[in-house]
Amino acid sequence: QVRLVESGGGLVQAGGSLRLSCVASGTSSSINAMGWYRQAPGKQRELVATIMNGGSTNYADSVKGRFTISRDNAKNTVYLQMNSLKPEDTAVHYCSADLPRWSLTYTYWGRGTQVTVSS
């Protein structure tokens, strides 16, 4: 049973920073991609950033230059350093991890952590 637990969310003023962490547990399989998604009220869940086990990263255009995703494979942990936060970054942030399931890849999700940015 795979569990993803996020931490580090909170309330911050515009221009401030937060660092999110997510720990994956309950799997003996190698984790491929890990990532962060967010969902604002009334909006669809959207990609923030992803990182492969080899270190390659991908970012949404809206966060490029402000956010940095990283991971510690030994700890099955992914981080999201968020700088220069804007009110439009306000959302529940979800951690994801891609793992093999049968012959396919399955994406597991954490329960989310709230990030609120005030103007």
In the predicted model, is pLDDT for residue 22 greater than 80? yes
**Pairwise CA distance, residues 4 & 25, whole Å:** 7
pLDDT given for residue 100 in this prediction: 87
In the predicted model, is pLDDT for residue 29 greater than 80? no
Higher-pLDDT residue of 6 and 102 is 6
**Pairwise CA distance, residues 109 & 2, whole Å:** 9
Q: How confident is the model over 37-74, as pLDDT tens digits? A: 999 999 999 999 999 988 999 999 999 999 999 999 99
* Separation in Å, CA 105 to CA 62, 65, 82, 88, 119: 27, 29, 28, 31, 40
Q: How confident is the model over 68-111, as pLDDT tens digits? A: 999 999 999 999 999 999 999 999 999 999 998 888 999 999 99
* Separation in Å, CA 4 to CA 14, 17, 23, 43, 104: 28, 23, 6, 23, 20
pLDDT given for residue 102 in this prediction: 85
Q: Is 88 helix (H, G, I), strand (E, B) or coil?
A: helix
pLDDT given for residue 47 in this prediction: 97
Higher-pLDDT residue of 9 and 53 is 9
Confidence of residue 30 (pLDDT cuts 50, 70, 90): confident
